[in-house]
Structure 1
Amino acid sequence: MSRECCPNSALEHCSTWLTNFDGSPFGRPVFICRVIRVYLTYLDESGTPGDRTTRFFVLGGVMVFERQTHWLELELDAIADRYQPQAGGRYLELHAAPMRNRKEGWEGISATDRVQATADVLRLLKASRARPVIFAAVIEKGQMLRAADILPYCYEVVAAKVDLFLARKYRQRKEAARGILVLDRNRDEEANMQALHRTFKNIGHTNGKLRNFAEVPLFVDSKATLTRTLSLPHSLRGPPPLILRGVSHRCCIHLSRESQKTRL
């Protein structure tokens, strides 16, 4: 089998191989290697759709190339390890809400240290070697007729924008890319979100169909897997103006009664 069309250095970077044994003009089989890059988008929500005491609901996402998740995890671990001795042996997750409210191991850590840890996590969204891409759907809950429609609507918007982002990679750079959405396990939402994703893929959503995902959303238990990468979307919590300032260098969707803004 000839591999002249795909040198060894390229084979080492293949996420998926497609092999074709059609005969070449010289009577030898041809080996065709097509690189398909996979991007993981970690999603998390801020707020409760039915909570009338809060004005906004946020669904945030952080996209990372599959081979960069290891390096991002190391950077997150380095932040948490500075405060781990003060946690009394508990595994510290870098979630914004527990860090702010002194819960889940952050009880004995000073306010100054908690603010510093939060700031360090936010800096990774801009300065990490993994070069994460940010997606966020922010909706003013009062504009929705039913609270039950808020999460599905935000999911539709974010999933469609992730799909569009991956499609543009091929149109502009000829980079074949597929995505997988990763969420923290929630048994009440898991079946509904996966069914919703299949509907958007097979039947369609408001602006078309999802065409660039490798699988339905993946739900994992962040505590069981001991991965801090799932904590990154938690950093997108806060008032919409703060979110927009923090991620303006990446991709952001802001939905409200007054305006609708899309940046890619």
Structure 2
Amino acid sequence: MYILYVDESGDPGLRGSRFLLLAGAAIFEGKWAYIDRDIRDLIDRYFPVGPQPREIHWSELRSGKGLFGRLSHDQRSLLADEFCALVSGLLHTEIRFFSVIADKPWWFAAHPGKSGDDLYLELFEDLCQRFDFFLRRRFADGAPSKGMIVADPHKTPLCRTIRTHQEQFRRVGTKWSRLYNLIETVFFLDSYQSPGLQLADLCAYAVWRVIDANDTSLAMKIRDAYDREPWNSTYQPGKWHGVKLHSDDPAIRGMIDAVWSLV
């Protein structure tokens, strides 16, 4: 079984952030305990005395907010590098990242009359479809697996959308096809309780830095964790399934392609 941990960046409203991004980290069931141990070891080494952060939150780590302010800039950079090395050291059958991005001005112009909830629904539907497509590939490779979804209950709009529509997707499918591999309902955990949600936060933050700040430094370190069609596939070999952009802005597309190109 694979567990898809879901996170978000941005907001769904007409105003506010330019982008809304949903991200998911799919972890093989046999790896989450080891990942949790490795993350705890990182925190113990960088915070050997005094209070420790309950989780590694990437925007706080980068900016030095909260308890991360006790670390120097160099220490925070080293911690980030070690966390990324943890991810890049996992096999493609152990972890896969997925992200779906909406350029909100473009999306609302292309969908007159639609609301922020409709935008959430489309992105969540797209994310579920990509996760299911990965599970179908595992089946085709002779390793059939089912999937379930976990989210942070404090992400209120996201959780409302997930609760409303995940059962519908599981029973009747998305607008593209049936979802054959998602089971049960969605489960909710606080991010500090789950290494998977911390990985989903990394997945989201890395893409957000690319599209919002044209900063590819973090994304390049974990690039290969994003889901991709194998090069020996008969269906679009090398195609990135882990990054989907809803926009017609060539500048934003260029930022994405600078990391997730076909070469």
TM-score range, shorter chain: 0.7 to 0.9
Alpha carbons of 1:219 and 1:142: their partners in 2 closer, same or farther (altered >3 Å)?
same
Look up the equivalent residue of 1:239 and give its one-letter code.
V
Q: TM-score, normalised by structure 2?
A: 0.74
Alpha carbons of 1:57 and 1:115: their partners in 2 closer, same or farther (altered >3 Å)?
farther
The equivalent residue for 2:65 is: 103
Aligned partner (choices 134, 138, 147) of residue 169 of structure 1: 138
1:59 and 1:136 in contact (8 A); partners too: yes
Larger relative CO (CA 8 A, sep 6+): 1 or 2?
A: 2
2:29 paired with 1:60: no
**Structure 2 counterparts to residues 176-191 of structure 1, below 5 A:** 176-186=144-154, 188-189=156-157, 190-191=159-160
Deviation of 1:124 after TM superposition, in Å, equals: 2.3
- Paired residue secondary structure (1:192): helix
- Once the two structures are superposed, what CA deviation does each residue of 1:157-201 show, in whole Å capped at 9, x if it has no partner? 11111111112221x223221001111122734343122111112
Aligned partner (choices 172, 178, 196) of residue 229 of structure 1: 196
Tell me how far apart the structure 1 counterparts of residues 54 and 170 of structure 2 sit (CA, whole Å).
Answer: 37
1:91 and 1:105 in contact (8 A); partners too: yes
- Unaligned segments of structure 2, at least 5 residues: 109-114, 228-241
Tell me how far apart the structure 1 counterparts of residues 74 and 12 of structure 2 sit (CA, whole Å).
Answer: 31
Aligned partner (choices 122, 126, 133) of residue 153 of structure 1: 122
2:80 paired with 1:118: yes
- Paired residue secondary structure (1:239): helix
Alpha carbons of 1:128 and 1:74: their partners in 2 closer, same or farther (altered >3 Å)?
farther
The equivalent residue for 1:250 is: 226
Look up the equivalent residue of 2:201 and give its one-letter code.
H
Tell me how far apart the structure 2 counterparts of residues 255 and 69 of structure 1 sit (CA, whole Å).
Answer: 28
- Based on CA coordinates, which of the two structures has the bigger radius of gyration? 1
Alpha carbons of 1:43 and 1:108: their partners in 2 closer, same or farther (altered >3 Å)?
same
1:92 and 1:105 in contact (8 A); partners too: no
1:134 and 1:247 in contact (8 A); partners too: no
- Paired residue secondary structure (2:243): strand
**Structure 2 counterparts to residues 11-22 of structure 1, below 5 A:** none
Q: How many residues align?
A: 223
**Percent identity at matched positions?**
22
Tell me how far apart the structure 2 counterparts of residues 244 and 232 of structure 1 sit (CA, whole Å).
Answer: 13
Q: TM-score, normalised by structure 1?
A: 0.74
2:107 and 2:247 in contact (8 A); partners too: no
- Paired residue secondary structure (1:80): helix
Tell me how far apart the structure 2 counterparts of residues 123 and 187 of structure 1 sit (CA, whole Å).
Answer: 28
1:125 and 1:131 in contact (8 A); partners too: no
Deviation of 1:40 after TM superposition, in Å, equals: 0.9
Tell me how far apart the structure 1 counterparts of residues 155 and 224 of structure 2 sit (CA, whole Å).
Answer: 33
